[in-house]
Amino acid sequence: MEDIELATLVNASRDGDADAFAEIVRRFERMARATGYALLGDAHQAEDAAQDAFIDAYYALPQLREAAAFPGWFRRI
């Protein structure tokens, strides 16, 4: 799935494709944890925050207007 474009994965995730969302998580988990750590200063809390952010993102995907904008949109979550 590494060769699939992000927009394709986002659109598939919107349609309920769990494997597509798992690939999004794989691609962005490092960034999510790093952002959480920068804000919280604790690795365990950063991991929890990253998990929460991915859950929030999954449920908010229908609100994302441009699938290719996922990285910036996700950082705000």
Q: What is the mean pLDDT of the chain?
A: 94
Note the pLDDT of residue 4. 83
Query: How does pLDDT run across 11-36, given as a tens digit for each residue?
Result: 999 999 999 999 999 999 999 999 99
Query: 6 with 73: CB under 8 angstroms?
Result: no
Token pair 């441009």: residue = 66
CA dihedral 37, 38, 41, 45 (to 10 degrees): -30
Sequence-distant (6+) residues with CB within 8 A of 35 are 46, 50, 75
